[in-house]
Structure 1
Amino acid sequence: MADRFPPSLKPTVHFKTLKREVFGRVTQCRIGHCFTGEYYSKFVPSENVDCPCGEAFQTREHLLRECPQYEDQRHVLEAVSRDISLPEILGTKEGIAALAEFLETSGAFTKSGKPRRSPDLPSFEDEPEPAGTDDDGDG
């Protein structure tokens, strides 16, 4: 399904433009090695294979097309393929761009199933006082 592009020696536009974490999930989703019950049943049998929404067997197709957890973001995929055809979503440039946007906003195909938080940046107040100084300013 996802193998529709000829091999290339140059990085794809998605490789150059997507956040590394999102690019990783796009790749995992396209090749089927992602956080789903379908994957776990083959490679990590100790993990649950059901979907948090109640579906007995979580698949890539279920998450992209049906899972109520991602209903609010699914319109992004439907704009490219009304019926969310997996060959279109996983194997065309437009589909992959929509998939990347869907993944970034929805958190689909993460271990938790929720969007990832950006790490908090440190602030000046978080910095420790340098050794050998005191708080009265004389140091």
Structure 2
Amino acid sequence: MANRFPPSMKPTTHFTSLKREVFGRVTQCRIGHCFSGEYYNRFVPSENVNCPCGEELQTREHILRTCPRYEDHRHLLRSVSRDISLPEILGTKDGIAALAKFLEESGAFTKTGTPRRPQETPSFEDEPDPVDSDDESDDGG
């Protein structure tokens, strides 16, 4: 359902424009190898397959179309497909763009199912002070 584009020798617009982490989740979602109970059921049977909302099997369709955890962000998908048709969301340029925005804002298909916090750039002030050693015996002589 997601494989609707012919092969190309050039990278896609999404590849060149999305953050790396979001692009990864878009790709994982499109091919079904994502953090979901459906995936775990097949490949990681030791993981819980239930959705935190109470659904017995967390599927890609459930997350995108009906899970109450993501209702606040579902309008992003509906802007492209009123009924959130998976072939449309996963297999068209507009659908993939909406999916990327949905994933970035909602945190869907992350291990925790919540948006990732931006990593803070470390600053010099955060570095620990060097240990002051007057002992010269550590230099081997």
Q: Please show how residues 122-133 of structure 1 align to structure 2 within 5 Å.
A: 122-129=122-129
Q: How far has the Cα of 1:117 moved from its partner? A: 0.8
Per the alignment, residue 52 of structure 1 pairs with 52
CA distance in 2, matches of 1:122, 1:57: 40
CA distance in 2, matches of 1:36, 1:67: 12
**Does structure 1 residue 81 correspond to structure 2 residue 85?**
no
TM-score (norm 1): 0.91
Amino acid at match of 2:108: A
Per the alignment, residue 93 of structure 2 pairs with 93
Structure 2 regions of 5+ residues with no counterpart? 133-141
Deviations 1:19-55 (A, max 9, x none): 0000000000000000111101110001111000000
CA distance in 2, matches of 1:59, 1:69: 13
Say what the alpha-carbon RMSD is for the aligned residues: 1.3
Per the alignment, residue 116 of structure 1 pairs with 116
Amino acid at match of 1:26: V
CA distance in 2, matches of 1:36, 1:51: 8
Q: Which structure has greater helix proportion?
A: 2
CA distance in 2, matches of 1:85, 1:18: 22
CA distance in 1, matches of 2:98, 2:4: 17
TM-score (norm 2): 0.90
- Determine helix, strand or coil for the equivalent of 1:71: helix
Q: How far has the Cα of 1:128 moved from its partner? A: 3.8
Structure 1 regions of 5+ residues with no counterpart? 133-139
Identity of aligned residues (%): 77
Aligned length: 133
Per the alignment, residue 13 of structure 1 pairs with 13
- Please tell me whether Structure 1 or Structure 2 has the larger radius of gyration of its CA atoms: 2
